[in-house]
A and B are shown apart, each in its own frame.
Chain A
């Protein structure tokens, strides 16, 4: 509960923050709190990912972006009421959507009845590894993970092509990059 309160407080602070640098640092803190919360929910795999990607790598990438573009926020040209209303309506719809969901940890929830027990029961005999998540991701759902890895590869190549292509052109022109219009 304390963690959730801190998460909400951090989110509100980020939304109110005018300095982009401070906002990026706070998103790092938000991810770190999120990692702690995942650990409390007995999901250490997700917590690892959240701590390393959310709090670590993506914060650093955002800071690198700020170093390239500048960290001042342009003043808002519109009143905040319309975005606030949109957020409130969407949030209310999401909360309404969770009303008929089973309680957290309910043993009779659909997710606990199928297919979860079959994996938990069969993993020890069929795969022989204690970490059921690894068995499901790597073996039972190996196709999906292969597709996932391919998506990461494709996305990484695309980002590299986008970022590097421009860099090389700038170097080829032999002119300083401040003459270029940023996109």
Chain B
């Protein structure tokens, strides 16, 4: 945690834009550069910046590790679950065409959106958790 006013104010101003940019990269990933992984790390970098400037305890309050652990696993489950959903709808595993039988292109869009969301969720929560685990340890020597 830092008490330097400039850092605290600049972080407070930048935080919403970093998180918003993360969401933009996440949901615009099929039209512009980026995708789930990039969005996840940008989002995690935003939370880590907050933890650096405002202290680990404040960051844990906005992103509790219990929730992050669930999101970490849920992200992978969303990806794999999309594959199971396409199988249930009569296609192959991860064959997004099956999601929308009348318009395969729509199915592809939905499938990509879902799996990228899963990747982003897993990467963002995983990165944040690892930082929390590092920062929460005490000095060994």
Interface of A is mostly: helix
A69 close to chain B: CB less than 8 A: yes
Residues of B within 8 A of A167 (CB): 133, 136-138
Binary contact readout A63-101 vs B (1 if CB under 8 angstroms, 0 otherwise) = 011011110000000000000000000000000000000
Interface size on A, residues (CB 8 A): 50
A156 to B104, CA, bound (A): 35
Residues of A within 8 A of B89 (CB): none
A128 to B136, CA, bound (A): 45
Most buried by A among B83, B127, B129: B127
Contacting pair B133 A145 (CB below 8 A) = no
A182 to B93, CA, bound (A): 46
B14 close to chain A: CB less than 8 A: no
A178 close to chain B: CB less than 8 A: yes
Shortest distance from the beta carbon of A118 to any chain B beta carbon, whole Å: 17
Binary contact readout B120-131 vs A (1 if CB under 8 angstroms, 0 otherwise) = 001100110111
CB < 8 Å neighbour of B34 from A45, A142, A160, A177: A45
CB < 8 Å neighbour of A149 from B31, B52, B119, B130: B119
Tell me the chain A residues, 110-148 only, with Cβ under 8 Å from chain B: 126-131, 133-135, 137-139, 142-143, 145-146
Q: Which of A1-9, A16-24, A25-33, A52-60 contacts B (4 or more CB under 8 A)?
A: A52-60
Contacting pair A180 B112 (CB below 8 A) = no
Interface size on B, residues (CB 8 A): 52
CB < 8 Å neighbour of B41 from A53, A145, A149, A178: A53
A178 to B129, CA, bound (A): 24
Contacting pair B129 A160 (CB below 8 A) = yes
Shortest distance from the beta carbon of B10 to any chain A beta carbon, whole Å: 16
A134 to B114, CA, bound (A): 12
Residues of B within 8 A of A176 (CB): 138
Q: List the interface of chain A (C-beta within 8 A of B).
A: 44-45, 48-49, 52-53, 56-57, 60-61, 64-65, 67-70, 126-131, 133-135, 137-139, 142-143, 145-146, 149-150, 152-153, 156-157, 159-160, 163-164, 166-167, 170, 176-178, 180, 182
